[in-house]
Structure 1
Amino acid sequence: MSTLTSNRIKPFRKVITVPGDKSISHRAIMFGSLAKGITTVEGFLPGADCLSTIACFEKLGVQVEKTSATSVRVIGKSIDGLQAPISTLDVGNSGTTIRLMMGILAGTSFTSILEGDASIGRRPMDRVAKPLRMMGAKISGKENGKFTPLTIKGTPLQGIIYESPVSSAQVKSAILLAGLSASGKTTVLEPTTSRDHTERMLSAFGVQVERFNNGASIEGGQELTATKVIVPGDISSAAFFLAAALMVPGSTITIENVGLNPTRTGIIDVFKAMGAQVTVEKQQESSGEPIGSITITCEELKGVEIGGDLIPRLIDEIPIIAVVATQAKGKTVIRDAAELKVKETNRISTTANELRKLGAQVEETEDGLIIEGKTPLRGAICSSYGDHRIGMAMAIAGLAADEPVVVDGSEAIQVSFPGFYELLKQL
């Protein structure tokens, strides 16, 4: 187990970039594999999760060539060209990989087995298995397919209209991808709109996707055509360095070439509401994704209430928002975020536990957190719990602590942000 140590720092001014978007990198490999022709991917995130996606498709007969540290070529096989794997498909720690793969594999002509690490073994898969079974999928596993390992026996599928009880891009994407192999139309409806990377990228690959308020539809039988994908910097990774500027009053940071997808920019709305000065400049678009720069600075923060439709737009950023809230005057209330309980860890509990070690006043609720500020932070030994976002959040907290903050299990950060510590040291 490796450790990372962060310390209080002086105000800084920096211009940086962050690694490629994890969600988009996953989909570029997946859709490139399902397309006809050669797909080139630039800005690919070579993190552990995305490498798991590559490994799974290589076992399905797809050739993926690394052309540089962050560029790959995918020799597409088409959906019908995927080959039966001769061994288990190991998704590692990647929830995106396993859930989207469930949708892709459900309509094949062969049987596959999906499994992952211990964390994946605790995460519920029935939220995807249930709608796929409604389409005719044959999925079995521990506790009737709720947990891994999962066996998916490919079979012909039928399109459905599914009203999802949760707003989840992984659930929505798995159903739409299964819909590519299904007869008829497949429609997914959500309580509020979740991330729409799948819909945008499918369109870039030539698939007709009907999009409407809180939902999307797709006709089965469509083919994907290879294309070029430029992956923007991951706004979920950028959030930690935006937060760093807020933890050290008087600092300014600009993050260039970052994704500005409106289903992901809730973190900007929250930081503005807390009193930060934020400038966003859109510069280009690729594969339907807006890309630009974000500049942020702040002298004083105030507490806010976060909930409702905003939550799906910042669900992964809640741990770092909680860290920033410890330095805001007044109370910050986060609600409607029960989805945090089924991430890599129960992020409600792990965030609260680790912030309390630093002296923060944090109360757990059934669906969120209540943070009282402004609170001086002290040094401590924290745990990542094997969760990359918890590890990075505690490292950023250390920038405002009176003594060093040591993060045990910091190797988990490699899942989404290779080079995080090196960039942190530059501050």
Structure 2
Amino acid sequence: MKVVEIKPRKLKGTIHVPSSKSYAHRALLAALLADGISTVYDVTLCDDVMATLRAIEALGAKVEYIVDKRPDLFTLNITGSTPLNVTDKIIDCRQSATTLRFFIPLVLTTNESFVFTAQGNLPSRPLDDMYEILKQDYIVYKNKDGKLPLHLKGLLRGGTYYMDTSITSQTISAMLFTLPLLESDSKIKLTQKLSSKNYVDMTLSMLKHCGIHIDCLSEAGEFFIPGKQQYQPFDYRLEGDYSSAAFWLCACAMGSEVLSTGLKVKSLQADRVFLNILSRMGAKIIKQGNGLKVRAEEPLKEVTIDVDGAPDLVPVLAVLAASLEGITQLTGLRRLQYKETDRVKTTMNMISSLGGDIVQMSDKLIIRGTGSLQGGTVHTGGDHRIAMAGAIASTICKDNVVVTYANCVDKSYPMFWDDFQKVGGEIEEYYMDG
């Protein structure tokens, strides 16, 4: 187990944030399906993106890796595979739920047998909404008491699909990528309120970019997808990731001076809402060159924040709330138990272990901020966002912060600890049995 011990320090400097892995998943999948060579620029090869890269290679894509001027960003030339030329029928999704959900319907265009495996707690995360789709189309599948590995074989057919997206929007995005490939037209009708609408908007934007037409029939969530469509090859430059930038923006709001570059101001990313939250609290968002930073000239105000549309922000918002004087409430927690950990529990444990005051009442977290934290040990449970939130919390702590399973940041931000030191963070790394 890799452990990082952090001394309390304010941070100062410039960070080029990693590229959006949400956009990366979508661009790589579209490139697989395109008839020709597509080029995707500024790709951060985090663990989740690598899972999708291995999956598109298993389905016949050829990938050329070109190192950019920055060692942590790559240009990928991807030769598509249309129709899919299967080279490996075992898809290891690692810990990437997006990879798992995006590729289940896609392999059902081949009528071949596949096995999906995963690591971490992903094998235990619910797939009930996906199983309902398989049942609608009489797809033969087998799992282990509802858990991975998942064995399946069948052929997806055009038609009307009723979908519950109240827990995740990944399933509808997966179907929007796959249904245009079918021989006949399809419809998607949502049975519950769409969660994380921004992610579906990102999918629709990517599909449009590569020549796929989708009709949105109603605001309530009804889509018409013509069949027999062909993905066109494309060039695409990934924008910076707001989920990762949120940690540096939070540090700024708590007294550090970090410029985050590579971000698109007008972005569809759900976690861009972090800028709106900071503005509501009274912080100033400053655009400087191709970067953003935050300045809090007056003490920030405590607010109530609905995190249902951006659940990945909860750990860093809890840290920010602990830095304020007063009570902050985070509502809309229903989906957090389905993340890399039960993120309500791990967030509460993180704040409590650092000396903060946090309680859960029904569907909300209540954080009583005192302006600082004491320090202590953050048990991440292997959750990358808890690890990074714990690191940023060190900037308002009196004593050192110890972060366990610190290499879990590789899931989304493999250069995090290097960047943390680049802006003045002082850490000591060591390994323990665990």
Same-fold call, TM cutoff 0.5: yes
CA separation in 1, counterparts of 2:41 and 2:311?
26
2:252 counterpart SS class: helix
Q: What one-letter code is carried by the residue in structure 2 that aligns with 1:131?
A: I
CA separation in 2, counterparts of 1:262 and 1:66?
27
1:203-229 Cα distance to aligned partner (Å, 9 max, x none): 111101223535344222211011011
CA positional deviation for 1:375: 4.5
Residue 200 of structure 1: aligned partner: 205
Residue 414 of structure 1: aligned partner: 410
CA separation in 1, counterparts of 2:382 and 2:319?
18
CA positional deviation for 1:392: 0.5
Determine whether 1:337 maps to 2:372. Answer: no
Structure scoring higher RCO (CA < 8 A, sep ≥ 6) equals 2
Shift >4 Å, 4+ stretches: none
Aligned length in residues: 408
CA positional deviation for 1:332: 1.2
Q: Which runs of 5+ in 1 are unaligned?
A: 284-291
2:76 counterpart SS class: strand
Q: Contact between 2:246 and 2:316, CA under 8 Å: does it hold in 1?
A: yes
Residue 324 of structure 1: aligned partner: 320
1:149-160 map, 5 Å: 149-160=149-160
CA separation in 1, counterparts of 2:291 and 2:172?
29
Q: Which moved more, 1:111-120 or 1:160-169?
A: 160-169
CA positional deviation for 1:133: 3.0
1:391 counterpart SS class: helix
RMSD of aligned alpha carbons: 2.1
1:248-327 map, 5 Å: 248=255, 251-259=256-264, 260-264=266-270, 265-279=272-286, 293-299=291-297, 300-307=299-306, 311-312=308-309, 314-327=310-323
C-alpha distance 217-385 of structure 1, shift in aligned 2 (>3 A): farther
CA positional deviation for 1:151: 1.3
Q: Contact between 2:373 and 2:397, CA under 8 Å: does it hold in 1?
A: yes
Residue 289 of structure 1: aligned partner: none
CA separation in 1, counterparts of 2:35 and 2:135?
28
Q: What one-letter code is carried by the residue in structure 1 that aligns with 2:229?
A: Q
Residue 383 of structure 2: aligned partner: 387
2:187 counterpart SS class: strand
Instruction: Report the TM-score when normalising by structure 2.
Output: 0.88
Q: Contact between 1:94 and 1:120, CA under 8 Å: does it hold in 2?
A: yes
CA separation in 1, counterparts of 2:361 and 2:171?
25
Residue 288 of structure 1: aligned partner: none
CA separation in 2, counterparts of 1:225 and 1:159?
24
CA separation in 2, counterparts of 1:49 and 1:98?
10
Residue 234 of structure 2: aligned partner: 227
CA positional deviation for 1:280: 5.4
Residue 82 of structure 1: aligned partner: 85
Residue 115 of structure 1: aligned partner: 117
1:4-403 map, 5 Å: 4-10=4-10, 12=12, 14-68=13-67, 69-78=73-82, 80-83=83-86, 85-86=88-89, 88-143=90-145, 146-166=146-166, 168-182=168-182, 183-189=184-190, 191-192=193-194, 193-195=197-199, 196-211=201-216, 213=219, 215=221, 216-248=223-255, 251-259=256-264, 260-264=266-270, 265-279=272-286, 293-299=291-297, 300-307=299-306, 311-312=308-309, 314-403=310-399
Q: Which runs of 5+ in 2 are unaligned?
A: 68-72, 424-434
